[in-house]
Amino acid sequence: MELKGKVALVTGGGRGIGQGIALALAGAGADVAVADLDQAIAEETAAKVEAAGRRSVAISVNVAQPDSVRAMVEKVEAELGGLDIAVNNAGIISIQSIEELTAEDFDRIMAVNAKGVFLCTQAAVRVMRPRRWGRIINVASIAGKIGFPDLSHYTASKFAVIGFTNAVAKEVALDGITVNALCPGIVGTGMWRGEDGLAGRWREEGESEEASWARHQKTLLPQGVAQTPEDMGQLAVYLACAEHVTGQAIAVDGGCTL
DSSP bridge partners of 137: 87, 180
191 binding ligand NAI? (CB under 6 A): yes
Query: What minimum distance in Å lies between the beta carbon of 217 and ligand NAI?
Result: 11
> If we measure between CA atoms, which residue out of 245, 120, 131 comes closest to residue 179?
245
242 binding ligand NAI? (CB under 6 A): no
Residues 6+ apart with CB under 8 A from 141: 91, 154, 158, 161, 183, 184
What does the per-residue mask of binding to ligand NAI show for 110-149, with x meaning CB under 6 A?
--x--------------------------x-x--------
Nearer to ligand NAI, 44 or 175 (CB): 44
Nearer to ligand NAI, 17 or 124 (CB): 17
Burial of 44 (0-12, 13-18, 19+ CB in 10 A): middle
Nearer to ligand NAI, 10 or 80 (CB): 10
| DSSP output for 205-237 | TT--HHHHHHHHHHHH-TTSS-B-HHHHHHHHH
Greatest CA separation for the chain:
58
- Within the chain, strands assigned E span 7-11, 31-36, 56-60, 85-88, 134-139, 177-184, 249-252
11 binding ligand NAI? (CB under 6 A): yes
Among 6, 15, 135, 153, interactor with ligand NAI by CB under 6 A = 15
From 100-108, 167-175, 179-187, 235-243, span contacting ligand NAI (CB under 6 A) = 179-187
User: Which residue among 22, 85, 145, 154 is the active-site one?
Assistant: 154
> If we measure between CA atoms, which residue out of 234, 239, 238, 223 comes closest to residue 186?
223
62 binding ligand NAI? (CB under 6 A): yes
- Catalytic annotation present for 238: no
Nearer to ligand NAI, 187 or 249 (CB): 187
63 binding ligand NAI? (CB under 6 A): yes
Among 189, 212, 217, 246, interactor with ligand NAI by CB under 6 A = 189
State how far the alpha carbon of 198 is from the alpha carbons of 42, 184, 212, in Å.
23, 15, 9
Query: Which residues lie near ligand NAI (CB under 6 A)?
Result: 11-12, 14-18, 36-38, 41, 61-64, 89-92, 112, 139, 141, 184, 186-187, 189-192
